[in-house]
A and B are shown apart, each in its own frame.
Chain A
Amino acid sequence: MAENATAQLSGTGVAIPDIGIDPSAIISALLLLAIAYIAVRIVVFLLGRLSERAYEHRITVKMAIPIAKLAIYGFAVYHILSSVVQLSTNQLIAFSGLAGAAIGFGLKDLVAEVVGGVVIVLDKPFQVGDKVRIDDHYGEVTDIGLRATRLVTPDDNLVTVSNQRVLSQTLANANAGSLEMQVVIDLFIDSSSDAPKAMRILREAAVTSKYVYISNKRPVTILMRDHPFYSMVRARVYVNDIRYEFKFETDVTKRAWEVFKREGIEPPKAGVVDLGGGPAASAG
């Protein structure tokens, strides 16, 4: 590190700080970042594998992934600043000025995303493994990175949303760290059909499913709403693992309709069901 902190830019008379970082320090810093990156990949891989073996503790184990990433990268940056670069007070001031200018001009979005990532890790509006809706995207959170959050949709699309955007949007979290989540199953029947019987069948289809989870806090609720030409029966019931959400819905619907048909419960006549946010959609 150079002792002479300032130098005159020849011909201009403007004093710019000579932060005196030699190439070896830059190489060391880059090397350290590379090691941190590899360490993060290894930790993410190991924790990911461990979480899948942890069955009911899967989401709890996955919670550790973003924290571990933040800790590793945080330690790497701290180590670069304190040990590799070894900034003096003047250098730190100069560095802060440069960093401020960089953030102000070009990197403000990146910094906002990184800060957003830190806020998500600390505030935990969701965790890796949760099912969330961000913007119009719904899926399982697979990664909370420093810059962006990734989720996999039911169609197996990987959606990447910047952390800054995640925090500025209204966020819906379906399970909030639990392995179970509520699933809403709507079945529409003709208004001349026996609705109470349909409710009983739907309830039994739900509680006998291999995917169901029931407890005092996670009860099964069956609702009904009558419309001029059809009735809607709705089950609010919890699936034992968020990954089975759609299989659960399919299983209950399929078995309920098999019995509906046997019991003479008919589907509505074609064209009478309003699925587009009408009163049917808001029942219960």
Chain B
Amino acid sequence: MPPPFKGEMELIEKAIKDFEEGKRRNTAVISDPFYGESELLEWVWERTGGGALRVKAGSLKEDFEILERSSAKIAIVEEAHRLYLRKIGGFDLMDRFINFVSSSERLFITTWNSFSWKYLDEVLGIGQHFPMKIELPGMDAGKIRDMLLSGYEEGELNFVEEEKDETEEPKILKRSSFKISLLGERIEIPRPEVDLNSIRSRFHKVEEKRPPMEIFFGKLARISDGNPGVAELLWKEALDYPKVRDCLVDLPSIDLDLDDSFALNVILSMGSVDLADLSEVLEPVGTSAERAAALLEERGLVFIDGEVVSLRAEALKRTAEHLRRARLVW
């Protein structure tokens, strides 16, 4: 179920045609993690008749000369953001790549993590080397529904509402307290606290009057932030053919200190990162990569698979929101 890339395909088609006519416009396809842009690159590769050089940027770390050796006129470089690490000396390979892109006569079609792209554009000004920038947009509920239901007949799936336990209705006002020091004594003063999630869920109750399918896809678009890759992952969790269960849950807001937020930022900027690379970034600033990764995994924001730390798809929206608030993402 690849996301529909019609507009993006037209832009890349135009870039290729212009290149064939002698006008080179290197292309950067910029998207959030999990978006599913590799399907677009697959189409580009087929469009070139398989004659383009297609490499993952990670492999250029081992063998950069593969770019120089190839005689292909078009080079497709996936996940170009993997050519840098956020540390002193971590931009050398990216600088080399950018110099190569600028001085080469080939057309480069590249994909980038949107968070890394913004960072690198501010730090290295990479935007000027890629005149054609294609930012993959978030999708609304209707487009996500069309994408996910494209392989099903109408009425084939049964959207089931989860039974709600009314007795466990969250209260708007919760009892909380704050502590003050008075005459050397710590005094706890009770105070009411407004539960914003409860208010939000009450607002969403209005949705109950709409058909379950509409409610489901509205919620899916909101939780996935319109990211088709995230939506598809959540869809797979909800699909119990032929039933689709409304098991989508908004993650709570993230509360992390600056060190752990920075570690999360590094992971978000790459989508997934080797623990060794994470260590190279975090050790000089006095943070243990293992400890940070374990804490982030415990919070349900990342998962560790062997030596690789990856962002959880369902945590993408909350992570980006948190890092913007913390001003680690600009």
Q: Which B residue sits closest to A211, measured CB to CB?
A: B258
Query: CB < 8 Å: which of B88, B265, B285, B327 contacts A256?
Result: B88
Give the CA-CA distance A251 to B282 in the complex, in Å.
12
B66-106 with Cβ < 8 A to chain A: 86-91
Type the 1/0 row for B296-330, where 1 means its CB is closer than 8 Å to any CB of A: 00000000000000000000000000001111101
Which of A55, A210, A244, A259: most chain B Cβ within 10 A?
A: A210
Say whether, besides A55-B325, A56-B324, A255-B285, A213 and B90 are in contact (CB < 8 Å).
Answer: no
Query: CB < 8 Å: which of B88, B324, B326, B328 contacts A205?
Result: B88
**In the bound complex, do residue A251 and residue B330 qualify as a contact, i.e. CB atoms below 8 Å apart?**
no
Query: CB < 8 Å: which of A55, A241, A255 contacts B284?
Result: A255
Q: Please tell me if A215 contacts chain B, counting CB pairs below 8 Å.
A: yes
Say whether, besides A204-B91, A205-B88, A210 and B262 are in contact (CB < 8 Å).
Answer: yes
What's the A-B contact tally at a CB cutoff of 8 Å? Answer: 50
Q: Please tell me if A186 contacts chain B, counting CB pairs below 8 Å.
A: no
Give the CA-CA distance A210 to B282 in the complex, in Å.
10
Q: Please tell me if B259 contacts chain A, counting CB pairs below 8 Å.
A: yes
A171-219 with Cβ < 8 A to chain B: 179-180, 201, 204-205, 207-210, 213-216
**In the bound complex, do residue A259 and residue B330 qualify as a contact, i.e. CB atoms below 8 Å apart?**
no
Contacts of A204 in B (CB 8 A): 87-91
A256-272 with Cβ < 8 A to chain B: 256, 258-259
Q: Please tell me if A163 contacts chain B, counting CB pairs below 8 Å.
A: no
Q: Please tell me if B183 contacts chain A, counting CB pairs below 8 Å.
A: no
Give the CA-CA distance A240 to B325 in the complex, in Å.
11
Contacts of A56 in B (CB 8 A): 324-325, 327
Give the CA-CA distance A269 to B122 in the complex, in Å.
36
Contacts of A214 in B (CB 8 A): 122-123, 330
Q: Tally A residues with Cβ within 8 Å of B.
A: 24
Give the CA-CA distance A258 to B286 in the complex, in Å.
13
> In terms of DSSP, what is the predominant structure of the interface of chain B?
helix
Say whether, besides A201-B88, A204-B88, A210 and B327 are in contact (CB < 8 Å).
Answer: no
Query: CB < 8 Å: which of A179, A201, A210, A259 contacts B285?
Result: A210
Contacts of A244 in B (CB 8 A): 258
Type the 1/0 row for B249-267, where 1 means its CB is closer than 8 Å to any CB of A: 0000000001101100100
Contacts of B265 in A (CB 8 A): 210
**In the bound complex, do residue B284 and residue A258 qualify as a contact, i.e. CB atoms below 8 Å apart?**
yes
Query: CB < 8 Å: which of B90, B122, B326, B328 contacts A208?
Result: B90
Query: CB < 8 Å: which of A179, A207, A240, A258 contacts B328?
Result: A240
**In the bound complex, do residue A179 and residue B90 qualify as a contact, i.e. CB atoms below 8 Å apart?**
no
Give the CA-CA distance A204 to B91 in the complex, in Å.
8
Query: CB < 8 Å: which of B258, B284, B327 contacts A213?
Result: B327
Give the CA-CA distance A213 to B328 in the complex, in Å.
8
**In the bound complex, do residue B325 and residue A208 qualify as a contact, i.e. CB atoms below 8 Å apart?**
no
Q: Which 9 A-B pairs have the closest CB atoms?
A: A55-B325, A210-B262, A240-B327, A214-B122, A204-B88, A207-B123, A208-B86, A259-B88, A255-B284
